[in-house]
Amino acid sequence: MFGTSGIRGPFGEDVTADLACSIGRALATHGAERIVIGRDPRLTGPLLADAVSAGAREYGADVVRVGGAATPTIARSVDWYDADAGVSVTASHNPPEDNGLKLWTDEGMAFGEERRRRIAEIVESDAGEPVAWDQVGTETERPDATERHRAALVDAVTIEDPPSVVVDVGNGAGGVTAAALRDLGCAVTTLGGNPDGRFPSRPSEPTGATCETLAAHVAGTDAALGIAHDGDADRTMAVDERGRFLAGDELLALFAGEAVADGARVVAPVGASLVVDDVVEREGGRVERCRVGDVYVAERASRPGVSFGGEPSGAWIWPNQTLAPDGPLAACRLAALVARAGPLSQQVASLPAYPVERDQIEVDPAAKGRIVDAVARRASERYGETDERDGVRVETDSGWFLVRASGTQPLIRLTAQGRTEDGTVELTETARELVRESLQAA
């Protein structure tokens, strides 16, 4: 039922009003007495939000509705409105025909594995029961949530010499970014600023291919940078002043390097680039690895001494502000970084560059786990110490490689990165060899 980012899939098939109602009931059964509910602009969002609310109130929980809002706004609202849980009705960067449900704790962090497992068990067993007719939960509306998020962003960031910024909202929920940047003194131009769950201006996921209009606009004006969000604005990607779309690892390195100036630790997933390690170590910090998925980044970022966590996919977490990926906060911090440290193109040019190779091997879906387990045994025999938190990650003197099963497709994915081209080629072939040997054994 749950992936690492909640429930997500085609509306009417994987995601239905019946399921949304069951999730509301399950949260109330699990002990949530007050639940915040918000949604991105998808056309099916109001219906699903109504269903979550109906199920929660039927089983005795009170509901606070924040309406259309960015997912980080909803996550922050759990604490603001003294709730026990939150629900974002969103499919994040998926296409418009999809929708989903992401659950938030009272700490503003996505539900971890144990809580997701328990909610799924309650739904599947149909546990719990309705309350008496005169004990059903109440529903109140708090339309001020987005304004509270905007004020929190302005309080968190200072920009001495505000740059000109283009914000590609992509018809999603990220309009709070443009508002906060204007409050911080930036000259802001928006693209796709009108919320529309059909995402007519571009696909919801911000990539180099989908953000060509943003890149051209920035390159053709005096803008210092461009910002792009996905549908619910938990992700932020960027374009430099020349119109070049930045790779996720480049943004991760820039954010991480800034965050460890005081010697703190940062969290990055097992597949993040060597450049992140080099930049963080240069600043006197240390990188801690975690499984792929923003919930795993958040879990590690919640520990003492961690100042930042992020994923190359565009999820950025500053735990002193929020344990949710906050795309608008990332946008404001990036604008401040450009104002303080100079053009993005120059900052990226100062980063070390290491070649990366990626490959994938199609396998029997039922055999994915066995194959990765076999790779782990062989890698351990050959290298001794391996990282098996998410697949198998092996570090060598020349770089690293990662073998992991796709969570959604019948594929084994390989990633290798060396400090030289030859080193990367050698590591890639080593990873392929381990998978081939394991396929034969499986």
**92 a catalytic residue:** yes
Tell me which residue of 226, 196, 207 sits closest to 344, measured CA to CA. Answer: 226
First-to-final CA distance of the chain: 27
> Six-digit token pair at 321?
């502000």
Helix, strand or coil, per DSSP, at residue 365? helix
Phi, psi at 178, each rounded to 5°? -60, -40
Tell me which residue of 186, 113, 146 sits closest to 40, measured CA to CA. Answer: 146
- The catalytic position among 5, 22, 53, 92 is 92
Please classify residue 17 by burial: count the beta carbons closer than 10 Å to its beta carbon, then call 0-12 exposed, 13-18 middle and 19+ buried. middle
State the Cα torsion 419-387-237-183 to the nearest 10°.
Answer: -120
Catalytic residues: 92
